[in-house]
């Protein structure tokens, strides 16, 4: 009797990630005239261009996330993006949704497929055109949520949940949040000037019937030069007398990000390179009214599964949905507000947060920091998720001297230098 | 310059102004700033961007500004692209039809050069990003740039001017031969336009050297800009072919001229003007070449040939979409199954076309097993041939074959919503077929005949429901010929007629409604022409004289070649029918009948190179010895033919065969491939004075298909 070949868990590497420049989700924003699926297509094509050594038919799955899967984000994004990007018909694809952690889930889900030996190479990403798909539009929450007090009414508004976090943890003051927001802008500006942002971007042609074609080459949301004085008196739109302002929230954003994942042995076979190796991941649920706390239990869980402690983590890419939500994480793990290990390039408060795409932006940035910081062995990417969740992925740095496996000799790869 | 679909022959519509939108783009890798000009008329893809006076003026201003910026060092390059699916579809010719003064014509020519040449005089390299169709003046816009990229999906690059009766006169006749050499330039400027206005696809354009690079449509602009940065940095150096020596150049031109002569015999001015400009391009300097283009364009814009061409193009493209005299489309009976009586060659072609396009079952019937088997075999080989050529996918071939059934049993046609008879052209036979069908099909099923000359009224006279009978006259070969004559009898219902029009539309054909008069439109006029030629020969004119007499018209072939194509017995059969119905205007030809009896060819076998087939001089012996008295010279034959056509058209309009002369022109262009520069035929008869002399009136008002009166 023939028997199937034995299954072994295979290590998964993050080959490379790219993203579009992010645009403001406004009628006059960068991408007002650009379709969401087209944004996603640009990232896929850029990855293929950067990896001519990868035969496109070797891609086993294309998973693309969006929070609002209708219109130009509907019709099974992973499959439509694969077709539109010119991938062979034989490459399958699907759409995925875990709100803000969509792209992160696309990564962990296809990585799991690689892990069990079902897949060798995958494309995982996310897109959100919040200008075309404002948050929550078209959603029809079940009345039981409120009637049975399953979820408090204000848990569906993310700004309210941020205010709720301030309530729960009085130590999280507006002053701390303002300072964090200002620092995010400053760190982003510094990283941009140092050439740490642009190499991971793919330029996007901009169709505008009024102004003609243009080219997006840089992020639109950041507000460089923001000072504490500029933000101290900003309005608190989510609650009268509240603490959360535009300067301590991620702006509404349009953008897409995607990455290439591979089984470690396949990456070696094809010579794809490896910028990070997946160590562990975890998701956790929390009270939806304080969804921003989600990364805390998710990180505990991921650390536990990896057999690591928070002290082992040398770099943190945490999504800045709101400053208060990052601060709640830092407090929970006893990390200082201005710890240099945290979001060294700034975060979503500056660059923006196109919901389902942000997970891969975090990973792409962590990968670049790993190449810069060969002394760091482990880093995490983590984010909170609407309706009370958190997700964390722990990564290992192939450039670290103690790293064993494919990619340990990988040179710093710079997209712009190709 | 050119434009599909945008010309009006009546009052020109206001210009759809192409705006020149400029945005600065940061080139990748810090290569500097490129000023990106988007030519966009602000309308969706159903309204292609075309360039009229206001649009050119706007582009001119935009390019001048960039020229100043280039001098100031603000920009390192200029790019030009278009709205999605179009770079530009050429000059806006809608206003050209109204031009009556030469000075206005010259302004059109000069405005193009004045604007476009800035792209070659920018002081920095210029790039055309051909993101969509680039036709005529649209492609010339790109040719003026230093470099060109094209999207891999672009299928419509062309200089179709010669097709319409113009020349590529905004730089095309000079720039293209310099870019790709004379041989390839003439392929694009003459050969393709004159071969049914064939378009050039992106990959071919790269091969021809018209463009420097092809990029995937998914990120065409982004990759074009990255390529631009590489070119500017010298990392990529586009390779240009070396152009031919003067000797080779001249030889190619001479060859092209010989080909034109063989085909057109000088009948159409524009191709010769284009050829002359290309011939001179190798040694001409830019200024004098552009000035020569201005002269040629001015002359052609002021020519009746061009105006007739614009009229004809508008007729066959835009206006053909809404057939004159068609009943409201919603009256059409839904057709879920089609029956065809007869399984001969034409019936088989009909069955395949209908099965392909309507995607409904086609049920055929013939009288015996042998014919059924032959019909099936013919259909199978027809489908297999198309599949082998890649014109039909294997799945579609399977579908088409599975949806066609042939039997001897008339009752299999019972469920058909529309039945077309395609049996031998014998009235009594067709009457019997219709009578038998009435006993089988539903009361409201539509009955159609594919007769080419018999009376539809007579065919349906004895039926219980003559009101459901129409003629649907296809032309051979059915798959290629774009015309259907929809024949309406006095008793045909709107529903039956609407069903025929709907069928035509679904088959992708242009339908013209005609009254049930002998020969309808196309055959009546073609046979009148042939009858005049035959009469001249019978009267003593040498066959050779009669054969070449019509060359000044530039018809697709000579009269004897046409008879050979149709088949002499078929032609005589139709002539016979028209003679019976219409009398001595359609005289019988004993000489041709003799040739038919002898089974002789009138012209030699085709040589496979598309050369004109001239009459075989030995057929002269079939005709009585010329006695000299009735012999005509070439001019005499031509005059007789044109006079005859004029008379016939006058009678057809009086009889109400169609409502207006333009419908006759539409039929002759699509059904007989009569040339655009004649405007079908009415514009030519008007401008040559035949309609005034023969009918005492013009067929079309002045200015509709010729140069309007000044002032």
Task: State residue B17's pLDDT score.
Answer: 95
Residues of A whose CB is below 8 A from B233: none
Read off φ and ψ for residue B77, nearest 5 degrees: -165, 165
Q: pLDDT averaged over chain A?
A: 95
Which residues face B365 on adjacent strands? B341, B407
CA distance A320 to chain B (A): 29
State how far the Cα of A350 lies from the Cα of A353, in Å rounded to an integer. Answer: 9
Name the 3-class secondary structure at B248.
helix
Q: Check whether A267 has a pLDDT greater than 50.
A: yes
Residues of A whose CB is below 8 A from B83: 209
Which residues face B36 on adjacent strands? B23, B79
Nearest to B81 among A204, A208, A213 (CB): A213
State how far the Cα of B348 lies from the Cα of B398, in Å rounded to an integer. Answer: 16
Which residues face B583 on adjacent strands? none
Residues of B whose CB is below 8 A from A205: 219-222, 225
Read off φ and ψ for residue B645, nearest 5 degrees: -65, -40
Cβ distance B38 to A212 less than 8 Å, yes or no, reads yes
Q: Does B221 touch chain A (CB under 8 A)?
A: yes
Cβ distance B22 to A217 less than 8 Å, yes or no, reads no
Give the Cβ contact number of residue B53 at 10 Å: 16
Residues B447-465: what's their mean pLDDT? 93
Task: State residue B418's pLDDT score.
Answer: 98
Cβ distance B22 to A212 less than 8 Å, yes or no, reads yes
Task: State residue A136's pLDDT score.
Answer: 86
Give the Cβ contact number of residue B324 at 10 Å: 15
Task: State residue A411's pLDDT score.
Answer: 45
Residues of B whose CB is below 8 A from A215: 25-26, 36, 221-222, 225
Q: Which of A129, A166, A259, A384 is catalytic?
A: A384
Residue of chain A nearest B216, judged by CA positions = A86
Smallest CA-to-CA distance from A87 within A123, A34, A111, A38 is with A123
Residues 6+ apart with CB under 8 A from A149: none
Q: Does B28 touch chain A (CB under 8 A)?
A: yes
Task: State residue A8's pLDDT score.
Answer: 73
Lowest-pLDDT choice from A277-286, A309-318, B565-574: B565-574
Place of tokens 């016979």: B576
Task: State residue B626's pLDDT score.
Answer: 63
pLDDT tens-digit map of B652-670: 999 999 999 999 999 999 9
- The alpha carbon dihedral of A290, A295, A298, A304 has a sign of negative
Q: Which helix (H) or strand (E) holds B243?
A: none
Contacts A–B by Cβ distance under 8 A: 58
Q: Would you call the peptide bond into B362 cis, given omega within 30 degrees of 0 as the criterion? A: no
Greatest alpha-carbon span in chain A: 76
CA distance A269 to chain B (A): 28
Read off φ and ψ for residue B401, nearest 5 degrees: -65, -40
State how far the Cα of B291 lies from the Cα of A249, in Å rounded to an integer. Answer: 64
Written in H, E and C, the secondary structure of B623-672 is CCCCCCCCCCCHHHHHHHHHHHHHHHHHHHHHHCCCCCHHHHHHHHHHHH
DSSP for B46-82 reads TS---B-HHHHHHHHHHHHHHHHHHHTTS-SEEEEEE
Task: State residue A408's pLDDT score.
Answer: 59
* Cβ–Cβ under 8 Å, residues B475 and B671: yes
pLDDT tens-digit map of B482-531: 999 999 999 999 999 999 999 999 999 999 999 999 999 999 999 999 99
State how far the Cα of B2 lies from the Cα of B262, in Å rounded to an integer. Answer: 25
ipTM of the complex: 0.93
Place of tokens 């793919």: A202
State how far the Cα of B265 lies from the Cα of B173, in Å rounded to an integer. Answer: 22
- Strands of B510-515's sheet in order across: B404-407, B362-365, B338-341, B418-421, B446-449, B469-474, B483-488, B510-515
DSSP for A234-254 reads ---TTSTT-S--GGGBPPPEE
DSSP for B83-146 reads STEEEE--B-TTTGGG--SHHHHHHHHHHHHHHHGGGGSSSS-EEEEE-EEEETHHHHHHHTSS
Task: State residue B119's pLDDT score.
Answer: 98
Residues of A whose CB is below 8 A from B55: none
Residues B219-241: what's their mean pLDDT? 96
Read off φ and ψ for residue B513, nearest 5 degrees: -80, 130
Quick one: tokens of A270? Answer: 């094809």
Residues of A whose CB is below 8 A from B218: 38, 41-42, 45, 84-86
Cβ distance A212 to B26 less than 8 Å, yes or no, reads no
Q: Per-residue confidence at B613, pLDDT binned at 50, 70, 90?
A: confident
The chain A residues in contact with chain B (CB within 8 A) are 38, 41-42, 45, 84-86, 202-205, 207-215, 217, 416
State how far the Cα of B85 lies from the Cα of B92, in Å rounded to an integer. Answer: 17
Residues 6+ apart with CB under 8 A from B391: none
State how far the Cα of B193 lies from the Cα of B196, in Å rounded to an integer. Answer: 6
CA distance A218 to chain B (A): 10
Q: Does B118 touch chain A (CB under 8 A)?
A: no
Residues of B whose CB is below 8 A from A204: 222
Nearest to A215 among B21, B25, B216 (CB): B25
Nearest to A205 among B29, B42, B222 (CB): B222
Smallest CA-to-CA distance from B435 within B453, B449, B425 is with B449
Task: State residue A413's pLDDT score.
Answer: 46
Nearest to A203 among B21, B28, B37 (CB): B28
pLDDT tens-digit map of A205-221: 999 989 999 999 999 99
Task: State residue A260's pLDDT score.
Answer: 98
Give the Cβ contact number of residue B99 at 10 Å: 21
Q: Check whether B4 has a pLDDT greater than 70.
A: no
CA distance A215 to chain B (A): 6
Quick one: tokens of A7? Answer: 């299954």
Task: State residue B610's pLDDT score.
Answer: 63
First to last CA, chain A: 51
Cβ distance B42 to A217 less than 8 Å, yes or no, reads no
Read off φ and ψ for residue A413, nearest 5 degrees: -105, 125
* Residue A353 falls in the annotated catalytic set: yes
Residues of B whose CB is below 8 A from A417: none
* Cβ–Cβ under 8 Å, residues B154 and B133: yes
Known catalytic residues of B are: 140, 161
pLDDT tens-digit map of B302-354: 999 999 999 999 999 988 888 888 999 999 999 999 999 999 999 999 999 99
Which residues face A385 on adjacent strands? A389
Residues 6+ apart with CB under 8 A from B610: none
CA distance B701 to chain A (A): 41
Q: pLDDT averaged over chain B?
A: 94
* Cβ–Cβ under 8 Å, residues B563 and B531: no
Cβ distance A213 to B219 less than 8 Å, yes or no, reads no
State how far the Cα of B658 lies from the Cα of B656, in Å rounded to an integer. Answer: 5
* Cβ–Cβ under 8 Å, residues B486 and B504: yes
What are the E-state strand segments in B375-432?
404-407, 418-421
Any idea what the Cα angle at residue B20 is, between residues B299 and B290, rounded to 5°? 30
Residue of chain B nearest A81, judged by CA positions = B218
Smallest CA-to-CA distance from A403 within A302, A282, A316, A275 is with A275
Nearest to A207 among B25, B28, B84 (CB): B84
Residues 6+ apart with CB under 8 A from A198: A192, A217, A218, A416
Lowest-pLDDT choice from A381-385, B43-47, B81-85: B43-47
Residue of chain A nearest B222, judged by CA positions = A205
Long-range contacts of residues A53-57, Cβ cutoff 8 Å, at least 24 apart: A53/A270, A53/A271, A53/A272, A54/A121, A54/A260, A54/A270, A54/A272, A55/A270, A56/A86, A56/A87, A56/A88, A56/A91, A57/A88, A57/A90, A57/A91
Q: Per-residue confidence at B646, pLDDT binned at 50, 70, 90?
A: very high
- Name the percent of chain A in helix, strand, coil, to the closest 5: 35, 20, 45
State how far the Cα of B697 lies from the Cα of B681, in Å rounded to an integer. Answer: 15
Smallest CA-to-CA distance from B339 within B473, B445, B468, B465 is with B445
Cβ distance B83 to A85 less than 8 Å, yes or no, reads no
Residues A93-114: what's their mean pLDDT? 98
Residues 6+ apart with CB under 8 A from B176: B143, B159, B168, B185, B188, B189, B210
Q: Check whether B695 has a pLDDT greater than 90.
A: yes
Smallest CA-to-CA distance from A350 within A233, A187, A217, A196 is with A187
Cβ distance A86 to B216 less than 8 Å, yes or no, reads yes
pLDDT tens-digit map of B555-572: 999 999 999 999 999 999
Cβ distance A85 to B218 less than 8 Å, yes or no, reads yes
């Amino acid at each position: 009797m023939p028997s199937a070949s034995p299954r072994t868990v295979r290590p998964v590497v993050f080959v490379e990630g790219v993203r579009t420049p992010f645009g403001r989700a406004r009628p006059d924003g960068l991408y007002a005239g650009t379709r969401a699926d087209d944004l996603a297509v640009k990232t896929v094509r850029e990855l293929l261009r950067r990896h001519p050594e990868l035969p496109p038919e070797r891609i086993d799955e294309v998973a693309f996330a969006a929070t609002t899967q209708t219109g130009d984000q509907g019709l099974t994004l992973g499959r439509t993006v694969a077709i539109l990007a010119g991938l062979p018909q034989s490459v399958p694809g699907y759409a995925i949704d875990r709100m803000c952690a969509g792209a992160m889930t696309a990564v962990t889900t296809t990585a799991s497929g690689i892990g069990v030996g079902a897949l060798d190479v995958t494309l995982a990403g996310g897109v959100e055109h919040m200008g075309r798909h404002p948050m929550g539009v078209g959603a029809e929450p079940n009345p039981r949520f409120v009637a049975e007090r399953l979820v408090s009414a204000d848990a569906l508004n993310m700004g309210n949940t941020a205010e709720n976090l301030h309530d729960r943890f009085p130590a999280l003051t507006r002053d701390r949040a303002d300072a964090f927001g200002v620092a995010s802008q400053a760190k982003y500006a510094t990283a941009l000037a140092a050439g740490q942002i642009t190499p991971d971007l793919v330029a996007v042609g901009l169709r505008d019937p009024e102004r003609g074609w243009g080219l997006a080459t840089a992020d639109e949301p950041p507000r460089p030069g923001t000072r504490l004085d500029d933000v101290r008196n900003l309005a608190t739109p989510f609650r009268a007398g509240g603490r959360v302002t535009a300067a301590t929230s991620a702006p509404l954003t349009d953008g897409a990000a995607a990455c290439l994942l591979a089984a470690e042995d396949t990456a070696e076979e094809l010579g794809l390179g490896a910028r990070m190796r997946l160590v562990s991941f975890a998701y956790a649920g929390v009270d939806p009214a304080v969804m921003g706390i989600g990364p805390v239990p998710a990180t505990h869980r991921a650390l536990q599964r990896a057999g690591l402690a928070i002290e082992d983590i040398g770099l943190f890419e945490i999504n800045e949905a709101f400053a208060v939500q990052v601060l709640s994480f830092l407090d929970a793990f006893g990390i200082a507000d201005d710890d240099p290990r945290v979001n060294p390039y700034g975060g979503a408060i500056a660059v923006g947060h196109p919901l389902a795409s942000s997970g891969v932006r975090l990973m792409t940035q962590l990968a670049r920091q790993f190449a810069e910081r060969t002394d760091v062995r482990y880093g995490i990417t983590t984010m909170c998720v609407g309706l009370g969740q958190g997700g964390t992925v722990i990564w290992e740095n192939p450039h670290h001297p103690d790293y064993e496996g494919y990619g340990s000799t990988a040179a710093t790869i710079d997209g712009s230098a190709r | 310059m050119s434009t599909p679909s945008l010309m009006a022959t009546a009052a020109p519509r206001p210009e759809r102004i192409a705006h020149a939108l400029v945005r600065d783009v940061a080139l990748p890798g810090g290569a500097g700033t490129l000023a990106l000009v988007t030519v966009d008329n602000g309308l969706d893809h159903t309204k292609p961007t075309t360039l009229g006076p206001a649009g050119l003026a706007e582009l001119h201003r935009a390019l001048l500004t960039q020229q100043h910026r280039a001098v100031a060092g603000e920009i390192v390059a200029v790019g030009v692209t278009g709205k999605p699916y179009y770079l530009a579809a050429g000059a806006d010719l809608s206003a050209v039809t109204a031009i009556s003064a030469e000075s206005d014509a010259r302004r059109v020519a000069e405005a193009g050069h004045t604007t476009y040449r800035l792209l070659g005089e920018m002081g920095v390299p210029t790039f055309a990003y051909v993101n969509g169709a680039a036709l005529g003046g649209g492609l010339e816009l790109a040719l003026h740039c230093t470099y060109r990229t094209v999207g891999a999906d672009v299928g419509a690059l062309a200089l179709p001017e010669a097709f319409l009766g113009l020349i590529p006169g905004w730089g095309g006749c000079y720039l293209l031969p310099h870019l790709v050499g004379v041989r390839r330039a003439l392929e694009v400027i003459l050969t393709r336009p004159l071969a049914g206005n064939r378009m050039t696809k992106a990959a071919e354009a790269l091969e021809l050297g018209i463009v420097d690079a092809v990029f995937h449509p998914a990120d065409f602009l982004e990759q074009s800009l990255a390529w631009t940065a590489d070119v500017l940095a010298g990392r990529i150096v586009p390779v240009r072919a070396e152009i031919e020596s003067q000797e080779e150049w001249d030889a190619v031109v001479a060859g092209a001229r010989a080909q034109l002569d063989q085909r057109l015999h000088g009948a159409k001015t524009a191709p010769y003007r284009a050829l002359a400009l290309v011939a001179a391009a190798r040694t001409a300097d830019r200024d004098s070449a552009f000035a020569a283009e201005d002269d040629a364009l001015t002359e052609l814009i002021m020519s009746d040939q061009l105006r007739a061409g614009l009229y004809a193009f508008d007729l066959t493209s835009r206006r053909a979409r809404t057939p004159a005299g068609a009943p409201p489309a919603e009256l059409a009976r839904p057709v879920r199954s089609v029956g065809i009586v007869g399984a001969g060659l034409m019936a088989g072609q009909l069955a395949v076309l209908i099965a392909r396009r309507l995607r409904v079952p086609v049920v055929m019937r013939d009288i015996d097993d042998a014919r059924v088997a032959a019909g099936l075999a013919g259909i199978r080989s027809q489908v297999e041939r198309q599949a082998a050529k890649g014109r039909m996918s294997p799945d579609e071939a399977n579908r088409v074959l599975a949806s066609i059934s042939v039997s001897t049993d008339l009752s299999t046609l019972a469920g058909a919503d529309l039945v077309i008879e395609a049996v031998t052209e014998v009235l009594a036979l067709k009457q019997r077929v219709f009578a038998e069908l009435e006993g089988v099909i539903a009361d409201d099923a539509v009955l159609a005949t594919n007769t080419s000359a018999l009376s539809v009224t007579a065919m349906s006279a004895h039926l219980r429901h003559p009101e459901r009978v129409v003629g649907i006259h296809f032309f051979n070969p059915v798959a290629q010929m774009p015309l259907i004559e929809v024949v309406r009898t006095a008793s045909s219902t709107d529903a039956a007629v609407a069903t025929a029009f709907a069928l035509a539309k679904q088959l992708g054909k242009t339908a013209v409604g005609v009254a049930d008069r002998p020969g309808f439109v196309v055959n009546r006029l073609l046979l009148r022409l042939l009858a005049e030629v035959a009469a001249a020969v019978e009267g003593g004119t040498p066959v050779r004289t009669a054969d070449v007499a019509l060359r000044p018209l530039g018809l697709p072939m000579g009269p004897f070649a046409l008879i050979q194509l149709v088949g002499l017995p078929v032609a005589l059969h139709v002539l016979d029918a028209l003679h019976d119905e219409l009398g001595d205007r359609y005289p019988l030809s004993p000489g041709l009948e003799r040739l038919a009896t002898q089974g002789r060819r009138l012209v030699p076998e085709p040589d496979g190179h598309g050369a004109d087939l001239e009459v075989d001089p030995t057929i002269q012996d079939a005709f009585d010895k010329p006695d000299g008295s009735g012999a005509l010279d070439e001019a005499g034959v031509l005059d007789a033919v044109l006079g005859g056509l004029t008379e016939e058209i006058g009678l057809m309009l009086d009889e109400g065969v169609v409502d207006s002369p333009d419908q006759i022109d539409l039929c002759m262009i699509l059904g007989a491939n009569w040339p655009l520069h004649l405007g079908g035929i009415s514009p030519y008869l008007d401008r040559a004075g035949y309609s005034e002399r023969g009918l005492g009136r013009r067929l079309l008002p002045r200015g509709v298909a010729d140069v309007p009166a000044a002032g």
